Structure 1
């Protein structure tokens, strides 16, 4: 595809394939990661609405980009609509929102594509703790009810995080929304991970559903060693007068400098 992927494209493909379409999805932190994701064939991205958003958009011109609305950034549906439009203007294709369906419905009524969230919702984890959600019949029904509420509110996509595979499959089959699956096996419309987990960029906790494909902690430690070496070499060159050399500087010829001295006397 040579143009930006739209909600219509994704939902049409889901309907055409009777739910058998699958997409790769990655949460990226900067333009470099976005460019690498696109080159690797990943067509759906998510990111934060920080200063990297415009660069991510430019690096992934055809990708579908769901941009997170910070939880608590808005206190009314009207504020959600205003911020949602701002995020679309900056390059979002959908606005991720973990607020209530009331906020999502307000944005959807104005034509803003919204990504909702069910299952383990980190912004609401005080009600569940960080664990799989929906393993009992009653809790599974509660998750499904939340899905229906978001669908009725007009959400275009829904993140389904750390719920049982069979529940995720039931959700995917029963909704036209694009289900973005994280920790749900291969049941959802997208297979979704964070770039930080894939790249191994941190020493902290890695979720059970994540998989590290590289060790950027070690790589960046080596990069830091190289930085120190380069800076030490620079300092040593200055101390020994090896830098700067004539080729690193400019000068004036004698006549120009004499003329400058003459002119300077008038100040």
Structure 2
């Protein structure tokens, strides 16, 4: 059976929760088979699937398209879908409408949105509509331009106090989990100890209630920039690159396909076909 909010919350202070991103059916199936607790259909798909410079161009339609595929692939994992840029910022009404559409059309179990105190009213309205919410504070990629880049958050006294207020505000608004991104480990641990909600860290140390990573990062899927907080569990880029090169070479050398990858026809049929063709040429 699919994991529920209560299954996850029961793990707080006990056993950490595992979470990975997924954006397609087959990856979701594999992650689910591995027993990962939660899957995030992140707006990071803008970077890793659609090739955008950042997440700002991602639309609600994009999230629904990919979210549907992931939910179909995951049978046990708890699936969370991101609310993209400007799907909730403008008004509470927009937030509830778009959250409802995402949940209804993808059949996911929760939505995630960025921001703390400033968006607590959106979280409250969404949860009152019966939609579970994962909050996201610290480094919030949708605000990358306002933040002046991808920087660690909470290093100064004022920033640290702001993060604590943000965590309290989103929890009071109804968020059952809080993503902490690029937050100093000791601060993240303090927030985790103070919160009743689950904390899910990404670049926030191992004192959180769970961890999340972009699966392309942890698999070494690309050879581009890798954040400091990522541990590479594989080097798929090199494996795939070598396989593609070998395929190209074998195509050019006609060594692929071999007999084992082809279908046979009897010599008798080919001979009869040949004779038939000759007769048709003669008649023409």
Q: TM-score, normalised by structure 1?
A: 0.80
Q: Find the counterpart in structure 2 of residue 93 from structure 1.
A: 109
Cα RMSD over matched residues?
2.8
Unaligned segments of structure 1, at least 5 residues:
238-242, 258-267
**1:171-191 alpha-carbon deviations (Å, 9 max, x no partner):** 111112111111111111112
1:110 is aligned, of 129, 148, 156, to 129
Partners in 2 of 1:87 and 1:148 — Cα distance?
26
Q: Tell whether 2:183 aligns with 1:183.
A: no
User: For 1:91 and 1:228, how far apart are their aligned partners in 2?
Assistant: 41
Would you say 1:68 and 2:62 are equivalent positions?
no
Aligned length: 242
Residues of 1 paired with 2:264 and 2:38: CA distance? 50
Provide the rounded CA distance (Å) in 2 between the counterparts of 1:76 and 1:233.
Answer: 60
Residue 142 of structure 1: how far off its partner (Å): 0.7
SS in 2 for 1:96: strand
Q: Which residue of 1 aligns with 2:33?
A: 39
Greater C-alpha Rg: 1
Matched, 1:122 2:141: yes
Q: How does 1:197-216 map to 2 (within 5 A)?
A: 197-216=217-236
Pick closer, same or farther for the CA change 1:244–1:167 going to 2, 3 Å.
Answer: closer
Deviations 1:160-209 (A, max 9, x none): 01111111111111112111111111111112111011111112210000
Change (3 A) 1:5 1:244: closer
**Which ranges of structure 2 fall in alignment gaps of 5 or more residues?**
43-62, 277-284
Q: Which residue of 1 aligns with 2:96?
A: 81
SS across alignment from 2:123 = helix
1:27 to 21, 34, 52: 21
CA distance in 1: counterparts of 2:146 and 2:166, whole angstroms: 14
Q: Are 1:144 and 2:157 an aligned pair?
A: no
TM-score (normalised: structure 2): 0.75
Q: Secondary structure at the residue paired with 1:140?
A: helix
Q: Which moved more, 1:207-216 or 1:53-62?
A: 53-62
Partner of 1:12: 10
Aligned counterparts of 1:115 and 1:206: Cα–Cα separation in 2:
25
Corresponding residue of 1:221: 241
Write the distance in 1 (CA, Å) between the matches of 2:177 and 2:188: 14
Query: Do the aligned residues in 2 keep the contact of 1:29 with 1:195 (CA within 8 Å)?
Result: no
